[in-house]
Structure 1
């Protein structure tokens, strides 16, 4: 199998993420994993590539507020229903 190549290693983390996208509407999500370069989220709606988002990541220690952009999104089925797994690259 091919070796995965990434700039930054990913760490699984399952926390609530809140934020706003470029239309300044609220967004609620759950994280899947995080790295120095970005975060993978489960969202209820699909956002277009390059959509800018302001995020508040509710970590076990003080929350982190950051900005990122959507780099990819794909539909996935979970036990809870349909979501859009979304990759966000941090600015």
Structure 2
């Protein structure tokens, strides 16, 4: 694909943008849509890991477990005796 383009520069002649014809832009967007639908290797790896680890946790509702454990964490400011009304 041949794309005609125009380089836009600032007052110091530094390139700041590229202008292309609208039809060329539409063709590029169409190609990007096709490329975006192809899953990346990292995405495939994540899906595999999720599938392989499904059902391992037997401790009940995982979100409830996270909330309970995090509630046990001590606020570091409480450790130093800061009052709730003071700025932390």
> Aligning the two structures, in what range does the TM-score lie when normalised by the shorter sequence?
under 0.3
Task: Select the structure with the greater relative contact order (CA < 8 A; seq sep ≥ 6).
Answer: 1
Query: Bigger radius of gyration, 1 or 2?
Result: 2
What is the TM-score normalised by the length of structure 2?
0.18
What is the TM-score normalised by the length of structure 1?
0.17
Answer 1 or 2: which has greater strand percent: 1
